[in-house]
Structure 1
């Protein structure tokens, strides 16, 4: 094991500061750059005292300068490379570029550069790397965890945990992969300094992170500064309808200074809004976690260089994105003021003034509730997972576990990561295995976390409604002791936001939102490990549906609202509402499917709705309804198994069967009220194809997502 270099004597601290400021000047490219006292306090703790420190400072304060300068000082003393755990690829790319300006040799290991991993490992062994950036997901990769991580822990000179609020499940952006950092911290040799940084931590999160950072008997240095963002001018524009909000954005986007970000709560909204804004002559592009990696990099560069007016983005364009942006507009409110503060912090770096506008929507709370439903699962589901792994006695893939536990892939993987850190399971090559260790379900903590989320949602509603200073409100939510009225926001009188929208923009926004039609892509592959459920289906789906259509997504801005109301709990069954009848007709006129017969998916909850839809389509298309995808086992509840694909295929296969007289070679329109997973349509289409249908084209009112 490599021993850390000896710390410099206290008398050399002045010399170290001079060296630090020389490094800072190289980093920022300015001969007059000097460290602020709080920056020097952090650097001194790391490079002189070899301590652990938590820095909670506003965006743009210069946290990256602290760890890059500390890296250069420690490397000069013979220390090993700095390891930075960083959550986003955009952040990594920015940090590597910044490091290179100061002559720091920085590399990254992440999911997009697998071919570079072995050369990078060799460069580290050869002492040719000063900074290694890794994603938190790498920390739980079996090969990296077992082969690379121990060596890094033994030889690194400084460990940096960026966006450290992710460690805490009290933070707005808790990530289970970050919990693996606890293990890394425990394996560090004595005398290796650690720095954790974040711009968004209240007192509870700060205390939680500091406790996790601190080795026994050593106090963590906590540096909390003012969270005021002097360049930001915050405002809220409250408009009643989605058409008005979209029209406002089209009318007022060009007035915003420079380039910026339009944040949305869903991927669908980014695409819909970007398309509309382009039709109004604005140079914008959509950006989300579903955007191709190469395209994301190009879009980030275009935004930073001012080649586009805005990226219409989800929170995937988030932490650490470093560019001089003149504005941030939120089309819909995030679920907490702390998350909102994180997003608005993208604006105002390197500029004296930036405008921040929130356009809240009534459907925001529906989206918050959806994401809240992805919280840590109930105890019986956790126990079911642990029992399945213990009974198997060998590694199981996530896909195989899906056949045993009714959870979505995302929730199952998140739960397994938490159980891994808790010691109950272990990720290995080939999947997950039980460790046999006892595990207790901390129901009280999960309840308190859930209650904290509910309080945050209410606080966000209070922010929207407040007549107080908006920046002070956000700083209070972050427990900033220096919070004071800013004098710059709309409530302080420093920002005047018009609520006017032009008739032309409103008309076009209304036309855009009322335009129905969403492509329903067919399922192409059967879920893995269906054999575990006694189902002999695997590989490519060869007898499924063709591309279909829906009126809208439930999350859409236009018809989505009417569909959310139609499918809301408590809404009585009935015929298709007239506005949706017109929307269906519009979809058919654009789509023009060539069909010979109709089969309707039977509904136990909305039989009138589905039968009315099918009979209306029969009259309009002048083709007969020839049967149903019928409920044959009512003991299988509607929606059962919908948490993951394998469970849903099994449930649909038990619940339904084809009762229809299908003409040989017929093109069949398969009609349903809504599609959540697509598996009912897939299995119904398979049955129709086996009954002689040449093609099956699904038509539904709504799709989820």
Structure 2
């Protein structure tokens, strides 16, 4: 292009930016690297990889480029975007610049046909697509080829998701290779991320064809965030952390996000802060989509002080005036941590970023590490089952035949799909017959990198050096230098002191025992295929009633007490007094609940008339002592215990695969004759006592046996719910 036309393009780009940011004066100007990326995409039709800090303005690059390309007759921009929160933000931002954006994702299936027609008619400027759609058979086979042929710009947002070295690897993203291969010559491609170290950057560049072998433009900027003041507040326990939040939340600027590591912790903290008078809302993977959207809008409008959120509220949520991010519990990766704290301070001069690490963090890291890519034998078993099947197998049909839960199974199949070993078709999955090798070295390397990142987060919490410099070095930022703002550079801004009243309230909240244990009501699909003749709804007369647990293992209150007690190699011993006292409290509260035996309600349970214990080869003393002491306190007879048959020689039952667990339990439990006789004489329901429930199937099988043996009702009581 000539110098004059280049200047005209720059002027047009700045004009679009002004509309995008709502600058009526027209004074808005692109950053130099924003302009370099736009010039590469629009004028030179090149591929570009942009690695810039959160809030730098990566979305401005693709919206401005879209506007300019559309004016020149290009087809619609396709943005592959990972989260619904990001999509909602992007649609609103595009509208401000006069760009008509639409989304195709799991929450708007009823609009897909209309949207596809609009794309065909040329009325859509931007189509945002969730990565999951890329491997939907109908979308992949019928929509994607047309889209690839017509698109004027492909944008891969949050591109670190492509890399299994990144903190948020998503195999669906790797389907982009197919779309890239199908793009006509000269279609520009933009990949963007804020959270990539040098290794992730190189991996993403290679996978997107933007590596050293191409003429792509790679723009990697400094990662300092001058608005963020980082700090770590070390507190002795969970009660102090909750009390600190209750005392200091109002001191934090504006509104913000309180991140937790688990759903249970988010719900606990939300309930406590509301009890203390703070206006907060919970936002987790279990929050209904409509509630999530309502919560996002409330935060954007400053109608709440904070959202208490898991990582479900992450990439792409855009609130320029977000005043703080607090982590109750440390993420396992400095890259993930940087990405989350980058939500704050985009459009304000000062934002507080606080980490409140907890002793439960390591256990939670270990749990998430345990559900990584499955071992080779599980992968081989899945491939063998698919190879022998006469038709495609859906996830529900495949799950009973392998020892993986549905989530891990689906993720594994997506990886195998990318590797060419399986293929997703209408009706399910098929094996391709393509030879496949288990990359032991790569998976071991990924695990080693995860361990290194965990150590980095331990070091971040205890470093006496600059915290921002520490994070920037973890992301291989060559310009990293002391920030002068963090608590180590400028001195602490927050005391560790908490008020006695808040501490007492927090302690009471965390030690409040009692979690409802919902009974299983439907047998898993596919049981007949593995020789278990059960299907459909469990008859009401064979179902357990709703039960109770002392707490969840993922709680920051009782979870911290129960985890060491119920750890795999913990010694077996009678129930400790504090645990037993809490169980008594749970029973008393249960009796008074709407479904309890002391409640004056139509659906109240009859009072239990006896206690039955579950057998155990790992914690017999613990469970028996629980049954004995409940019997004594409640003045209820201890009717006996179920027993395991020789069928269950190995108690390492599948933990997360429902069908496989039920197959292992089939015929494994019996009601001994003395217990059967006692049940026949009992005139009411029984308490069924166990140490822990994970899937709920052991309780369901035991309850069915007891009910078939004469029990008039089964009320499960366990110490812990896993999860």
Range into which the TM-score falls when normalised by the shorter chain: over 0.9
Q: Summarize the alignment of residues 101-500 of structure 1 with structure 2, pairs less than 5 Å apart.
A: 101-214=96-209, 218-323=214-319, 324-493=321-490, 495-500=492-497
Distance of aligned partners of 1:245 and 1:222 in 2 relative to their CA distance in 1, 3 Å threshold: same
Q: TM-score, normalised by structure 1?
A: 0.97
**In 1: Cα distance, 2:75 partner to 2:149 partner:** 9
How far off is 1:21 after superposition?
1.1
Structure 1 position 603 matched with structure 2 position 616: yes
Look up the match of 1:650.
Answer: 663
How far off is 1:597 after superposition?
2.0
Per-residue CA distance 1:322-378 (angstroms, 9 max, x = gap): 012100110000001111101111110110000011000111000001001111111
How far off is 1:11 after superposition?
6.0
Look up the match of 2:64.
Answer: 69
Look up the match of 1:537.
Answer: 534
How far off is 1:672 after superposition?
0.4
Per-residue CA distance 1:436-462 (angstroms, 9 max, x = gap): 111111111111011000000000000
Q: Summarize the alignment of residues 623-662 of structure 1 with structure 2, pairs less than 5 Å apart.
A: 623-633=636-646, 635-659=648-672, 660-661=675-676, 662=679
Instruction: Tell me if structure 1 keeps the 8 A contact 2:48–2:210.
Output: no
| Pick aligned residue for 1:27 from 20, 27, 49 | 20
* Equivalent pairs, count: 698
Q: Which moved more, 1:218-227 or 1:77-86?
A: 218-227
RMSD over equivalenced CA pairs, Å: 1.3
Structure 1 position 687 matched with structure 2 position 705: yes
**In 1: Cα distance, 2:620 partner to 2:13 partner:** 73
| Pick aligned residue for 1:673 from 691, 711, 719 | 691
Q: Summarize the alignment of residues 446-595 of structure 1 with structure 2, pairs less than 5 Å apart.
A: 446-493=443-490, 495-542=492-539, 543-592=542-591, 593=597, 594-595=607-608
How far off is 1:694 after superposition?
2.3
Instruction: Tell me if structure 1 keeps the 8 A contact 2:648–2:665.
Output: no
Look up the match of 2:594.
Answer: none
Q: Structure 2 unaligned runs (5+)? A: 592-596, 598-606
Look up the match of 2:600.
Answer: none
SS at match of 1:573: coil
Look up the match of 2:604.
Answer: none
How far off is 1:79 after superposition?
0.7
SS at match of 1:67: helix
**In 1: Cα distance, 2:96 partner to 2:400 partner:** 51
**In 2: Cα distance, 1:114 partner to 1:10 partner:** 47
**In 2: Cα distance, 1:399 partner to 1:637 partner:** 26
Instruction: Tell me if structure 2 keeps the 8 A contact 1:398–1:413.
Output: yes
SS at match of 2:359: coil
Per-residue CA distance 1:589-640 (angstroms, 9 max, x = gap): 1112511122211001011111111111111222222232211136442241
How far off is 1:46 after superposition?
0.5
Per-residue CA distance 1:413-444 (angstroms, 9 max, x = gap): 00000001111111111111111111111111
Q: Which moved more, 1:584-593 or 1:230-239?
A: 584-593
Look up the match of 2:601.
Answer: none
**In 2: Cα distance, 1:260 partner to 1:232 partner:** 13
**In 2: Cα distance, 1:283 partner to 1:614 partner:** 42
How far off is 1:494 after superposition?
5.3
**In 1: Cα distance, 2:671 partner to 2:330 partner:** 44
Q: Which moved more, 1:215-224 or 1:109-118?
A: 215-224
Distance of aligned partners of 1:597 and 1:235 in 2 relative to their CA distance in 1, 3 Å threshold: same
**In 2: Cα distance, 1:287 partner to 1:94 partner:** 17
Look up the match of 1:52.
Answer: 47
**In 2: Cα distance, 1:498 partner to 1:366 partner:** 27
Look up the match of 2:680.
Answer: 663
Instruction: Tell me if structure 2 keeps the 8 A contact 1:108–1:134.
Output: yes
Q: TM-score, normalised by structure 2?
A: 0.95
Instruction: Tell me if structure 2 keeps the 8 A contact 1:518–1:551.
Output: yes
Instruction: Tell me if structure 1 keeps the 8 A contact 2:255–2:304.
Output: yes
How far off is 1:108 after superposition?
0.3
